[in-house]
Structure 1
Amino acid sequence: MATPFATLEDLRLHWSELPAEREADAEQKLAEASIILRALYSGIDAKIASGQVDSDVVKLIVCRMVKRSLLAAINDVEGVATRNETAGGVSMGISFSNPNGNLYLTKDDKNLLGGGRRGKAFMIVPGFP
């Protein structure tokens, strides 16, 4: 297995509130997030080595993926997608954005890796008769 793009120490620097009891899960998820990136972006290791992709960007994305996953498992407020409250009938509903703690890339993550339209503006020139 290839070396993960980020270490537990990198994750701690990114997320200082990482619970100590979740560190074993975090290390496994760092490896899994790296596997996902390598599967989705073939040749990413070579692109990092050649300087086409910044290794710090990849490290950041892996840390963000793991943090999102672990927050979902902890049911932290940051992972809440919707929250409904009603005072009169005393009702409350919460839905979590990632209830299973899956590792995933956000649109921002994909843009950082060059998968978005950032910097790729286009223009439509109307035809003349």
Structure 2
Amino acid sequence: MSDSFATAQDLSDRWRKLSDAETTTAEVLLADASDKIRNRVSQADDENWCAANARTLTRICCSMVKRSMQQSSTGMPEGASQSSTTAGPFTDGYTWSNPDGNLYLTAEELRDLGISQGRAFTVGMVGHGDD
């Protein structure tokens, strides 16, 4: 089984042309994203499951890395989530959703991978007459 579910070329095809430095970064992040998916989806270690879901795995892996690379290219200091610029009477303000460029799976991606959301349940707090 290959290390990554996607290549830098897959990412470039879905997003934009990457520079040589970005390609190197993308390859590392794609391997990290693939590892994160494998850790969340038990079937991801199964060769047959991966082959059957190859396009979904590639798409999700590329989306994770694209989100990360978009945020890391903003020039924001690490950990910052807001920025504002003022020029005369004009002000621009931004809040980044992923200021550190973390790799994460969205709720939709988790559903696409077959990972169900949590379910509500109750736990009885009264004994069963064992006193």
Task: Note whether the superposition's TM-score is higher than 0.5.
Answer: yes
Amino acid paired to 1:43 = Q
**Unmatched tracts of structure 2, length 5 or more:** 76-80, 118-131
Give yes or no for contact 1:44–1:53 (8 Å, CA) kept in 2.
no
2:23 corresponding residue in structure 1: 23
Give yes or no for contact 1:107–1:116 (8 Å, CA) kept in 2.
no
TM-score (normalised: structure 2): 0.69
Count of residue correspondences: 112
1:112 corresponding residue in structure 2: 112
Counting aligned pairs with the same residue, the percent is 34
Following the alignment from structure 1 to structure 2, what is the Cα–Cα distance between the partners of residues 65 and 41? 15
Alpha-carbon displacement from aligned partner over 1:24-48 (angstroms, at most 9, x marks no partner): 11110000000101111123131x5
TM-score (normalised: structure 1): 0.70
2:73 corresponding residue in structure 1: 74
**Unmatched tracts of structure 1, length 5 or more:** 118-129
Secondary structure of 2:42's counterpart equals coil
Bigger Cα Rg: 2
Change over 3 Å in CA distance of 1:53–1:101 after alignment to 2: same
Task: Verify: 1:32 aligned to 2:27, yes or no.
Answer: no
Amino acid paired to 1:92 = D
Select between 98-107 and 49-58 the one with higher mean Cα deviation: 49-58
Following the alignment from structure 1 to structure 2, what is the Cα–Cα distance between the partners of residues 100 and 5? 23
